[in-house]
Every structure is written in C-alpha cells, then in structure tokens.
C-alpha cells in the first residue's frame, strides 16, 4: 500500500517539461535531479519518499524519453494518479517500476492532501476527507511486470532460466 | 464481423486468427528501430549483464540522428557508443548522420505495408505512411524487443479520418494534421489508431502522408495508418522494391469507433500557438505576431517536399533582415535532391542558413536552439515550453509554406498571398 502527500499537476504534462531535452545528455541518475525542471524547478528537493503525483488527463504526453518516469521514481514518488496517461509514458512507468494509476476522479484530490493508493485493488483514498475512489486495475500481464519491479528485473529473470 | 487494418496486422504478428480491441496480446515484431538518444546508451550494459545479444540483426535498424554532429564531448561519446554497438553486433543497417530515423525508415524502403514495426521514439508512427502498423516505445520496451523480438500490445480501436478532395495550393498536410489536433485536442486519439481515407489522401504523396502519420503522436494516437495503395506501390518500386501481392486493408464492415471528416477545399493554413500544439488557429486569425527565428527542420518538416514548398515561397524573395531562417534537412538524400533540383540554392539565395541533417533544434538537443525571449515559427512537431531551447522562448508550429512566408515578412502571415503574387 502506498501512502503519501499529493503533488498536483494539470492536464497534458509533457515529458519535455518533466525532463527538458538539455538534460538528456546526462546519465539517467543525474538527470533525475532536474525532474519537473520545466514546470516546477526544485521539485526533487521537496518530495518525500512515498509521495504521490496527481495529474489530469494525458499525463506524460510527448517524447518517449524513459528518463521522465525514471526521474520521477528516483525523486521518491511512489505512484502517479491521473485521469489518463499518454500511452508510451504509461508503458515506461510500468517498465521502470513506477505505478501509473488511472482514476477518473483524480482532479478531486488537492495539493498537499494525504492519499493512500492501493494499486492491486484499484483504490485511491483521500485520508483528509475519507473519500475513496475507484481506479483502473492493471491487467495481469502488466501488473506482473510492475510486481517484478519493472521490465529489466523481469527480463533478467527470464534470461536466467 | 470485419476487421480493421490494425487488427489484421496485430493478429498476424500475434500468430492468431483474429484479435479484439482492448485485448492484450504478445506480438513478434517485423522490424525495429533504435536511435542514439534512447537506444544502446540506455541498455547495452544491461544486455551485457544479462549476457544476451540482438535477436535478429537483419530486423534491427540503428540510427544516430539526435546528437549529430556532436556539439561537445558528451555527445561525441553517445555517438561513439552507438557506433560501437552497431559494429559489435554487426548491424547491416546502421546510419549515422544520414538523416532523421523516421525519414530514413521510409526513404530507404525499410518499412513495408502490413509490417508490425516498433521504433524507440514517439514519432515512430511515421512508418504508418507506408501502410504498416507502426508504434513508438521507450527504452526498456526496446530492450525487450532488441533482445527477444517480442512485445505486448493492447489492440487499439480505430478512428477513420476522411479527407474528401485535395487541399488548395499553399496548404500542406501539416495544416490538415494541426487542424485535426486543434479540433480533437492532444489527447483526442489516445490509445487509438487513426486510419486515413478519402480522395484527398489517395492523391497525397508518401512524404505528405508521413506528416500525417508522424503527428498522430501529437493527438495521443498509438498509430496513424495510411493504407498502402498505388502511390505506395510506386514509391517502393522507385526504391527497387517490387511488390505484386495485394496490400492488407480494413474490411468494409470493420468497426470504426468514430469518423473525422474534412473537405479538402476547406482546409486552410493554420498555426499552433505557444506552448500547446493543440492551440490551433487559422493563420489569418493569429494576429500577425512578429518572429525572429524561422526553423525548417525535423522528420515532419524538412523532407525534400518540405524544402521545395519553402523554396516556392522564397523564390525571388529575401528573408527579413531581423529574421534568422534555418534549414536542417531531414536527410542527406533530401538535401542532395534539393541541390540537384535547385531548391537548395533558392533557399540559400533567400538567405537561409543550412544546418547539418539531424534532429537539430527540434528536441532542444542539437544546434540552433532558442534563447530566452526568442520567438520562432517552426515546421517541427511540438512546442511544449522549452522544447526547442529556453523555457522562455516561444514556438509557433506551421507548414513549410507558412514558415517561409513568416521568414520573409518577419511576422506570421498567410503564405497564400506570396504564392498568388508569383502566379500573377
Ligand atoms: S526531428 Fe524532432 S520529432 Fe523528429 S525524431 Fe528528431 S527530435 Fe523527434
């Protein structure tokens, strides 16, 4: 179970603002320090481990750069709850082991609220208000990648066999 | 019940008789592309740790386009690593500084009708212009494909897009796709295939079709397919690829979740305003904002025909004194043809600064990026804040005609006026 503070972003958050192009030249772990540089500079320093990003629709649109969800995860974010995700970003989240949680009522969560996210059962709860929302449960094929910690650990396991 | 083209291609690649929308299936890909930015540098080490190689060197294309030419040592190292990867696995189709991957995949005839093609880049949809099911993915998904040749896909629903009749002079495929993005927003095609039909599409060249497929990414789509037809067959034949078999197509009773219709004659020049590519207005309603930079570049905006469109406007004119017009051809072949036909000299006589082929300023990685306060009109695909350089720069997206016209006028203007003048 994930429990943390909500950091709120709007609709169509683009991977170009999550990790601007000029940081792509850096190795992934160094790029992570600049997460959200294009929209909320200094974000990495404010986040506590286990916190949750709350987005609107089409979160992670734009470039296929996997550095974007990787940097979000490295900053300590445990899940992204959004009304919808851009498709490559969604896959990239799963592949780096960061839970993308699709929740139609994500916009009712306010910045700073404490939220509890149950990825397996598809529930998002606002602890401050006691409200609880349904979220989309991940299909088994996809959930298994997330459970393995991402696609690399899963592939490593496969190739070991 | 009938099947869409996407469903047919995915079913074949999944080794199944048929598939349903929303189903998740494992497919074997026919062709894969990886590039210098999201490619080997991100996972070659992991491949070595896992002690696995490339699944099929003849199905993988490796392109260095984002960091060419190297502007510093770090970029040079990325190019070196990509080159070493291609040499180590003996990849026959490795192209460094020959052009932007999406343009190369089409120009060299690598993508073929009916293929399931996956590229490690969000604009890999471009391959849909040849009638393939072409999708983009991130690095780790590409690691799986590079090492196993397989991936999972959720079968998309298909929206039918119809262009009835050809578009008038001075209006380009870029205007149509930006209009569609403006009408349906950047999330309007999320997870779906957009399949193009109608007499206006049938009359369109492969390069113009590739602008549509490419920028289906900007509408959130998974794929943007133009079913292969006589134009496709001729294009491939010009590249020595003779195909006699009928091309796969959607059944006439296939289920489309929606239809978006456009009358060719009604499409007009448009611009997407900073910093949203779905903030689209007719160019005549943009308020003629002044610009200091005009950029003709990217996979979507600097192929030979794009350069020719710009040259049509620039012929006998000069770039305004306070404007810098930069042209980064999408491929070496595009530049070479532009030299042969005189298009390149028309651009240069007008005052264009020709940049090396590659992604250049489009992703803010290469050369030609924007300073704070600079206002640019560009043939590229995206204008999110900071995409082409400083977060305090502004980018308008438009067709090559409109970018060339703005370079001459020093402000965003209707290019049709400059085309009718010389017709008179
Ligand atoms: S030119 Fe721009 S859109 Fe095309 S592949 Fe390069 S960075 Fe991407």
B97–chain A Cβ distance below 8 A for any pair: no
Is A92 within 8 Å of B138 when comparing Cβ atoms? yes
Partner A, chain B 196-225, Cβ-Cβ below 8 Å: 220, 222
Nearest atom of ligand 1 to the alpha carbon of B298? 1
CB-based contact A159 B50, cutoff 8 Å:
yes
Query: Are B38 and A25 inside 8 Å of each other by CB?
Result: no
Could you tell me whether strands B116-119 and B31-35 are parallel, antiparallel, or unpaired per DSSP bridges? parallel
pLDDT at B395: 98
Per-residue pLDDT for A161 more than 90? Answer: no
* Statement: residue B424 has pLDDT above 50: no
Supply the pLDDT for residue A37. 86
Q: For residue B269, how many other CB atoms are within 10 A of its CB? A: 27
B352 lines ligand 1 (CB under 6 A): no
How much of chain A is helix, strand and coil, in % rounded to 5? Answer: 35, 20, 45
pLDDT at B421: 57
User: pLDDT tens, B54-79?
Assistant: 999 999 999 999 999 999 999 999 99
**Percent of chain B's residues with pLDDT above 90:** 98
Chain-chain contact of A62 with B152 (C-beta, under 8 angstroms): no
Q: Is the CB of B210 under 6 A from ligand 1?
A: no
- Per-residue pLDDT of B96-148, as tens digits, reads 999 999 999 999 999 999 999 999 999 999 999 999 999 999 999 999 999 99
Residue with tokens 């890999």: B124
Choose among A73, A121, A71, A61: nearest CA to A97.
A73
Residue of the CA atom closest to atom 1 of ligand 1: B298
Q: Does B25 touch chain A (CB under 8 A)?
A: no
Look at residue B33 and tell me whether its pLDDT is greater than 90. yes
Contact A159 B51 (CB under 8 A): yes
Ligand 1 pocket member B121 (CB < 6 A): yes
The arithmetic mean of pLDDT across residues B183-197, rounded, is: 96
Q: What is the mean pLDDT of residues B321-350?
A: 98
b or e along A26-57 (b: 16 or more beta carbons within 10 Å of the residue's beta carbon)?
Answer: eebeebbebbbbbbeeebbeebeeebbbbbbb
Residues of B in contact with A104 (CB under 8 A): none
Q: Is B63 in the pocket of ligand 1 (CB under 6 A)?
A: no
Question: Helix B400-409 crosses helix B304-314 at what angle (to 10 degrees)?
Answer: 30
Interface residue of B138, B298, B363, B385 to substitute, partner A, most A CBs within 10 Å: B138
> What ipTM goes with this model?
0.94
pLDDT at residue B423 greater than cutoff 80: no
Summarised one tens digit per residue, pLDDT across range B245-301 is 999 999 999 999 999 999 999 999 999 999 999 999 999 999 999 999 999 999 999
Mutant choice from B140, B144, B219 vs A, greatest count of A C-beta within 10 A: B140
B299 lines ligand 1 (CB under 6 A): yes
Q: What is the pLDDT of residues B364-378, one digit of tens each?
A: 999 999 999 999 999
How many pairs of residues across A and B have Cβ atoms under 8 Å apart?
A: 119
| From B121, B152, B391, residue closest to A64, measured CB to CB | B121
The model carries a pTM of: 0.96
Supply the pLDDT for residue B29.
98
Closest CA to ligand 1's atom 6: B359
B381 lines ligand 1 (CB under 6 A): yes
Does ligand 1 lie within 6 Å of residue B330's CB atom? no
Q: Could you tell me the distance, in angstroms and rounded to a whole number, from the CA of residue A52 to the centre of ligand 1?
A: 31
Rounded distance between C-alpha atoms, residue A157 and residue B337, angstroms: 50
Listed in sequence order, the residues at least 6 apart from B334 whose beta carbon sits closer than 8 Å to its beta carbon are: B99, B103, B107, B302, B303, B304, B307, B357
Q: What is the pLDDT of residues A85-137, one digit of tens each?
A: 999 999 999 999 999 999 999 999 999 999 999 999 999 999 999 999 999 99
CA of B216 to the centre of ligand 1 (A): 14
> What mean pLDDT value characterizes chain B?
97
Please give the average per-residue pLDDT across B388-403, as a whole number: 97
Whether A92 sits inside 8 A of B140 (CB atoms) is: yes
A116: Cβ contacts below 8 Å, ≥ 6 apart: A1, A2, A3, A123, A124, A125, A127
Q: What is the pLDDT of residues A8-33, one digit of tens each?
A: 999 999 999 999 988 999 988 888 88
What does the pLDDT average to over B35-51? 97
C-alpha A146 chain-centroid distance: 12
Q: Ligand 1, residue B65: give the atom nearest the CA.
A: 6
The DSSP line for B352-392 is -EEPPSSSTTTTTSSSSPBPTT-EEEESSS---TTTTB-TT
pLDDT at B373: 97
* A24: chain B residues, CB-CB within 8 Å: 37, 363, 365
Which residues of chain A are within 8 Å of residue B382 when distances are taken between CB atoms?
Answer: 14, 16, 62-63
């Amino acid at each position: 179970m994930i429990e943390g503070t909500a950091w709120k972003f709007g609709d169509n958050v683009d991977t170009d603002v999550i990790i601007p192009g000029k940081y792509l030249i850096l190795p992934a772990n160094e790029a992570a320090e600049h997460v959200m540089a294009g929209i909320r500079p200094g974000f990495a320093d404010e986040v506590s481990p286990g916190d949750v990003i709350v987005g609107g629709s089409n979160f992670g649109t734009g470039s296929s750069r996997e550095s974007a969800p990787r940097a979000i995860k490295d900053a300590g974010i445990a899940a992204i709850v959004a009304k919808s995700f851009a498709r490559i970003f969604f896959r990239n989240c799963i592949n780096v082991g960061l839970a993308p949680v699709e929740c139609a009522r994500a916009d009712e969560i306010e910045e700073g609220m404490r939220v509890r996210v149950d990825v397996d059962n598809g529930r998002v709860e606002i602890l401050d208000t006691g409200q609880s929302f349904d979220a989309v449960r991940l299909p088994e094929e996809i959930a298994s990648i997330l459970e393995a910690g991402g696609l690399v650990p899963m592939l490593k396991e496969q190739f070991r066999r | 019940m009938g099947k869409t083209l996407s469903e047919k291609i995915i079913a074949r690649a999944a080794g199944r008789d048929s598939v349903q929308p929303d189903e998740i299936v494992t497919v074997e890909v026919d062709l894969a592309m990886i590039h210098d930015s999201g490619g080997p540098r991100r996972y070659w080490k992991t491949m070595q740790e896992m002690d696995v190689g490339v699944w099929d060197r003849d199905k993988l294309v490796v392109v260095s386009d984002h960091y060419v030419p190297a502007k510093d040592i770090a970029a040079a190292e990325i190019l070196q690593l990509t080159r070493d990867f291609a040499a180590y696995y003996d990849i026959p189709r490795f192209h460094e500084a020959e052009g932007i991957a999406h343009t190369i995949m089409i120009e060299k005839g690598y993508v073929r009708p009916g293929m399931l093609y996956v590229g490690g880049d969000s604009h890999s949809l471009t391959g849909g212009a040849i009638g393939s099911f072409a999708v983009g993915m991130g690095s780790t998904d590409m690691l799986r494909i590079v090492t196993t040749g397989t991936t999972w896909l959720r079968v998309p629903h298909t929206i039918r897009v119809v262009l009835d009749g050809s578009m008038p002079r001075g209006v380009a495929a870029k205007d149509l796709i930006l209009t569609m993005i403006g009408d349906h927003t950047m999330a309007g095609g999320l997870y779906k295939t957009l399949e193009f039909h109608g007499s206006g599409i049938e009359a369109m060249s492969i390069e113009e079709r590739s602008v549509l497929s490419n920028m289906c990414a900007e509408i959130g789509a998974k794929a943007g397919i133009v079913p292969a037809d006589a134009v496709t067959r001729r294009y491939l034949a010009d590249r020595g690829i003779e195909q006699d078999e009928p091309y796969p197509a959607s059944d006439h009773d296939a289920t489309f979740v929606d239809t978006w219709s456009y009358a060719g004659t009604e499409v007009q020049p448009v611009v997407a305003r900073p910093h949203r590519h779905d903030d689209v207005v007719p160019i005549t309603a943009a308020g003629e904002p002044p610009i200091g930079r005009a950029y003709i570049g990217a996979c979507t905006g600097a192929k030979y025909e794009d350069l020719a469109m710009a040259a049509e406007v620039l012929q006998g004119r000069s770039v305004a004194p306070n404007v810098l017009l930069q042209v980064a051809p999408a491929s070496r072949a595009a530049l070479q043809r532009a030299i042969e036909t005189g298009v390149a000299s028309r651009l240069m006589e007008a005052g264009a600064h020709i940049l090396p082929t590659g992604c250049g300023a489009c992703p803010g990685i290469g050369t030609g990026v924007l300073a704070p306060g600079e206002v640019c009109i560009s043939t590229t695909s995206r204008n999110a804040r900071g995409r082409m350089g400083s977060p305090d720069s502004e980018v308008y997206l438009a067709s090559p005609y409109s970018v060339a016209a703005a370079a001459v006028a020093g402000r965003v203007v209707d290019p049709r006026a400059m085309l009718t003048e010389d017709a008179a």
